[in-house]
Structure 1
């Protein structure tokens, strides 16, 4: 059962991290309903456009199941949404969702393009070293492009519309991208996934070049 736990948006704001001012869009807030366009949600934006946002990264999802694990490990309470995600869900773990999967949520249709590449803001925002563990575990969450614009409500249902391949889950793709960077066979196979985000295709091309 796929369930939307929290629908979240927010504009970038300045935060003080260890006495240093940094602008980030990680501090999103739950909302009851919002329109989604090709480049993202209304009232939502990113600060570091090199690493976040764009048509291949219009929506960010993080599985709610990980919250309890991180809370137990770091002995903290994580507020929703602690990871700057737009969609906090259950039943959509990285191991169970595949690159290219298409979902209908509300009146929108969105497609998985890549795993999220986490940054240090996750640790700074939550006050504990989540980043290293997220990278190690590959529990990063993941990103979508928008195939059909529309509106998502906080109580919208989530339905899998299409699965184009069953070899590279988000978790497996993350493991290649973050840890198994010399696996030429897997990299070549991933490059054949048409739905993969362009930025990941470029990164994989570079990885392949270094191997050869």
Structure 2
């Protein structure tokens, strides 16, 4: 199956409401991403060593920096999240790409297909897979669902981070070429390890 870049999303750091016991407080987060290049409206986007030009991360120690410059997520998981949130909120919810905080929404690749150290070529950029995305309290706050983080790891629906090896330009519709690395640990296996660590 062909692997394709479906959507590129970016966003700025803004206040996010989080629940702290019985209280509500705000933290700064850039989890809210908006599509800036789609299949129906492709636009060329510049990528540098720290990620998409114009995109922000609020806490580079957790998300961002050169080791987590881009966050990639399979669009195949979106029906699961739409169904889960629709059920929890009692109304039909359709999620747009970027909702999970990802920069690159792709098709044709899952967590069990991708290994740490694999290289991905998209447009004129080249990236290396570094690790899974570990969901934090900001993800729970974004979804409004207490079990969201656990559901992400249990189902190996974490997505993964990329380091930019070669800067360049990408746009929605670009093919994604995988160049296998050592193939010692898949992102799916990292999900399982994280799940067992929490037991």
State the TM-score bracket (shorter-chain normalisation).
0.7 to 0.9
1:139 matched residue in structure 2: 157
1:110 matched residue in structure 2: 127
1:40 matched residue in structure 2: 51
Aligned match of 1:24 in 25, 29, 38? 29
Shift of 1:181: 4.3
Q: Is the 8 A contact 2:117 2:183 kept in 1?
A: no
Query: Which digits, 9 at most, give the CA deviation of each residue in 1:68-103, with x for residues without a partner?
Result: 012223323222211110001111110111111111
Residue segments in structure 1 that go unaligned for 5+ positions in a row? 183-212
| Aligned equivalents of 1:123, 1:78: Cα separation in 2 | 16
Distance 1:135 1:107, change over 3 A: same
2:39 matched residue in structure 1: none
Shift of 1:17: 4.0
Q: Is the 8 A contact 2:47 2:169 kept in 1?
A: yes
TM (norm. structure 2) is 0.83
| Aligned equivalents of 1:12, 1:135: Cα separation in 2 | 25
2:195 matched residue in structure 1: 179
Shift of 1:158: 1.2
TM (norm. structure 1) is 0.79
Aligned match of 2:169 in 151, 165, 168? 151
Q: Secondary structure at the match of 2:117?
A: coil
Distance 1:91 1:98, change over 3 A: same
Moved more, 120-129 or 139-148: 120-129
Q: Quick check: 1:119 aligned with 2:136?
A: yes
Aligned match of 1:168 in 185, 192, 195? 185
Aligned length: 180
Between structures 1 and 2, the one with greater helix share = 1
Q: Is the 8 A contact 1:142 1:170 kept in 2?
A: yes
| Aligned equivalents of 2:111, 2:174: Cα separation in 1 | 21
2:114 matched residue in structure 1: 97
2:89 matched residue in structure 1: none
Query: Which digits, 9 at most, give the CA deviation of each residue in 1:107-148, with x for residues without a partner?
Result: 100110111111121221122231121122231110011110
| Aligned equivalents of 2:181, 2:16: Cα separation in 1 | 41
Shift of 1:67: 0.7
| Aligned equivalents of 1:118, 1:150: Cα separation in 2 | 28
